[in-house]
């Protein structure tokens, strides 16, 4: 899919990957980018990058009325990028395991599902695409981030199901599985991290080259390769990474 001339919604546009996606879409000649975040103020700076092509939109993916209002406002969308997400860095038996799991499922899974449902009519009419940002640890659980992993595993299952449901309508559904990215979400965690620009570039290149599952960084590519060879061994390796 050529992104030039396309109208795109990016959720979570106030985060590192979201901002990089908005800038990358402008560079690729997108006609309009709806930069969506919980508060419009959070993306006003992005709107100033190109006042004719970037529209700051207030969106809470966990609020049905907010999702409905945005889908009504953005009726000319070709591509939806579901990038909004939350990670409470909690393990299942941790002190806030239940609360974290509920919040992450509400945003990461139910929020993504709500957006897919709301935007499918217009995207299908334009033979467009839905891009869901999952995570490489949605494919194998990292216990120290157990509740987040479970929510992203749900997103992985969601995108597979939605992909099948929407294929007859000509809608492409794309999964993105990044490893650690240098954003606020991973602040304080010592590990090799990709930059938001690297991830955004890989996502948009994948969309343009009709890649169905995008592994946008070296870490995610390496883990994916191991999962194809010996998923049980990867599970065992990740299982050693437990809370102190």
Q: Tell me: pLDDT of 86 over 70.
A: yes
198-233 pLDDT, tens digit each: 999 999 999 999 999 999 999 999 999 999 999 999
* Residues of the chain above pLDDT 90, percent: 88
Regarding predicted confidence, which is higher, 187 or 109? 109
Structural domains of the chain, with CATH: 7-239 (3.40.50.720)
The span from the CA of 189 to the CA of 109, in Å, is: 24
| pTM attached to this predicted model | 0.94
Range with lowest mean pLDDT among 78-92, 152-166, 178-192, 229-243: 178-192
Is 34 among the catalytic positions? Answer: no
Between CA 170 and CA 198 the distance in angstroms is: 29
Lookup: tokens for 58: 């207030």
What is the rounded average pLDDT of the residues 146-157? 98
Q: Is 89 exposed, middle or buried (0-12, 13-18, 19+ CB in 10 A)?
A: middle
Tokens of 126: 């334009």
Predicted local distance difference test score (pLDDT) of residue 187: 47
Q: Where residue 242 falls among pLDDT bands split at 50, 70, 90?
A: confident
Q: Which of these, 64, 52, 53, 63, lies nearest to 10 by C-alpha position?
A: 53
């Amino acid at each position: 899919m050529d992104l030039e001339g396309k109208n795109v919604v990016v959720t979570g546009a106030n985060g590192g990957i979201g901002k990089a996606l908005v800038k990358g879409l402008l560079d690729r000649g997108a006609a309009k980018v709806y930069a969506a975040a919980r508060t419009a103020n959070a993306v006003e700076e992005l709107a100033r990058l190109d006042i004719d092509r970037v529209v700051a939109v207030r969106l809470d993916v966990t609020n049905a009325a907010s999702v409905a209002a945005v889908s009504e406002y953005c009726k000319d969308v070709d591509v939806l990028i579901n990038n909004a997400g939350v990670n409470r860095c909690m393990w299942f038996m941790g002190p806030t395991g239940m609360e974290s799991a509920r919040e992450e499922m509400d945003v990461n899974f139910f929020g993504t599902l709500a957006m897919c449902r709301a935007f499918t009519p217009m995207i299908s009419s334009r033979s467009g695409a839905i891009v869901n940002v999952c995570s490489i640890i949605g494919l194998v659980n990292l216990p120290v981030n157990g509740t987040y992993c479970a929510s992203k595993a749900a997103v992985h299952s969601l995108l597979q199901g939605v992909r099948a449901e929407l294929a007859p309508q000509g809608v492409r559904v794309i999964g993105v599985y990044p490893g650690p990215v240098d954003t606020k979400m991973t602040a304080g965690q010592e590990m090799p991290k990709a930059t938001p620009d690297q991830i955004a570039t890989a996502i948009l290149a994948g969309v343009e080259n009709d890649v169905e599952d995008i592994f946008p960084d070296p870490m995610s590519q390496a883990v994916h390769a191991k999962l194809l060879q010996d998923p049980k061994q990867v599970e065992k390796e990740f299982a050693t990474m437990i809370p102190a």
